[in-house]
Amino acid sequence: MREIIMQNVRVQFTIPNVKKVANLDIRVNGEKRNLKFRVETFDWHSENGSSEDLVNILRDRILNYDSEWELYHIGTPQKNQIPVTFKFKSSTS
């Protein structure tokens, strides 16, 4: 029998009233791990250009974001803003 190792497991969750960073302590196969997430919202106004222009602006902001954080998820634009979730790189995952 072949062992299957999952590199990533995605779980969607809502944590209300988080202002800076969400720290999550989880257990994986009995081992405690700490994960840190940060959600930033970026402007997504059509007056900033075409959809392609907006994607390029967002790409630039993500690429130039704090190097200790990595892109985790890009949400759906709402009310002229788009939420982007980053995961702290030193988090055990």
Write the pLDDT tens digit of every residue in 19-48.
778 888 888 888 998 989 998 888 888 787
Residue 61: which of 87, 80, 43 has the closest Cα?
Answer: 43
Pairing of strands 31-43, 22-28: antiparallel
The answer to the question of residue 38 being in a domain is: yes
The answer to the question of residue 1 being in a domain is: no
The answer to the question of residue 8 being in a domain is: no
What is the pTM assigned to this prediction?
0.76
The count of structural domains within the chain is: 1
Give the pLDDT confidence score for residue 67 in this predicted structure.
94
The answer to the question of residue 17 being in a domain is: no
The answer to the question of residue 48 being in a domain is: yes
Domain that holds residue 42: 22-86
Give the pLDDT confidence score for residue 22 in this predicted structure.
85
Do 88 and 38 form a contact (C-beta atoms < 8 A)?
yes
* 30 SS3 class: coil
pLDDT tens-place string over residues 46-73: 787 788 888 998 999 999 999 999 999 9
